[in-house]
Amino acid sequence: MPIAASLFYSLSARGVENKPSLVLIHGAGGNHLAWPPSLRRLPGWNVLAVDLPGHGRSAGLGQQSIQRYANQLVNFLTGVDLYQVVLVGHSMGGAIALQVALDQPSLVAGLGLISTGAYLGVPQAMLENVADPLTLPQALALFQNLAFSPETAPGLVEQSMRLLQEERSIVLAGDWLACAAFDLSERVAQISCPSWVAVGADDRLTPLPYAHFLAASLPNARLEVIPGAGHMVIVEKPAEVAQSLGEFLEGNFRF
């Protein structure tokens, strides 16, 4: 698989012309495999799913700043010669997408914002326990308790958590610190591109009020609430997420 600006990414090239490419940005402690195939291979679109620095197969170090991740993502887009994209981010990835849209508005044709917000609060107990290998299991247990709908099958929860458990604790700690410091609540109204805001109805990490505020603040936004899903809606309800995202894209980027 290819690398650009020291970042590894997967590419599903459909040979689509006259449409912006989709760039998928994973959440804290994840990598491109956090995205289910239904999104990484969304029909009718060229899709790139990137591993952020220090994550997955990408070189470099994880950061403690959404701004730094945003800067590195812009460098990546330049490296793959993309100058008009739809950024689709989950959780921390959504924060990065918002930051890029503010910093480089001409680069971002649209936004897909999943399980995220203009502000990201991180439970203090997660922050306190994640940096120490001895207490890391407590941090992960709390995340697991908050991240999934009660309706989600235990096997799916276990499978999803495995990816997070494989990430280095220092990277996850940095990501959660970056999320805890993130707040664009007074600036998101400056983003004018078409935006799709999706949230699981049972999300307790970036709950419904976060999504409602984001959708109300963005001048050109559509809100999708997905029943029976929590913060990890992309793996809990991948078909529903893919369908809603596809409808948003076709409605706004049909040439």
Q: Tell me the pLDDT tens digit for each residue of 117-158.
A: 999 989 999 999 998 889 999 999 999 999 999 999 999 999
- The size of the chain, in residues, is 255
Give phi and psi for 23, each to the nearest 5.
Answer: -125, 115
Give the tens place of pLDDT for each residue, 45-66. 999 999 999 999 999 999 999 9
Mean pLDDT of the chain: 95
Q: What band does 255 get if pLDDT is binned at 50, 70 and 90?
A: low
CA geometry: angle 27, 28, 33, nearest 5 deg: 55
Residue 255: other Cβ atoms inside 10 A: 7
User: Would you give the end-to-end CA distance of the chain in angstroms?
Assistant: 30
Distance CA 96, CA 63 (A): 12
Q: For residues 117-127, b (16+ Cβ closer than 10 Å) or e, as one string?
A: bbbbebbeebe
Give phi and psi for 223, each to the nearest 5.
Answer: -105, 135
Amino acid, single-letter form, for residue 252:
N
Output the pLDDT for position 206: 97
- Diameter over CA atoms, the chain: 54
Give the tens place of pLDDT for each residue, 64-117. 999 999 999 999 999 999 999 999 999 999 999 999 999 999 999 999 999 999
Amino acid, single-letter form, for residue 37:
P
Distance CA 89, CA 92 (A): 7
- Position 41 pLDDT exceeds 70: yes
The DSSP call for residue 109 is E
Structure tokens at 92: 């921390």
For the full predicted model, state whether its pTM sits above 0.85: yes
* Residue carrying the six token digits 């599903």: 12
Q: Which domains does the chain have, with CATH numbers?
A: 3-252 (3.40.50.1820)
| Strand, helix or coil for residue 85 | strand
Rounded mean pLDDT of 175-193?
97
* Residue carrying the six token digits 């971002």: 108
Q: Considering the chain, what percentage of its residues have pLDDT values greater than 90?
A: 89
- Position 183 pLDDT exceeds 80: yes
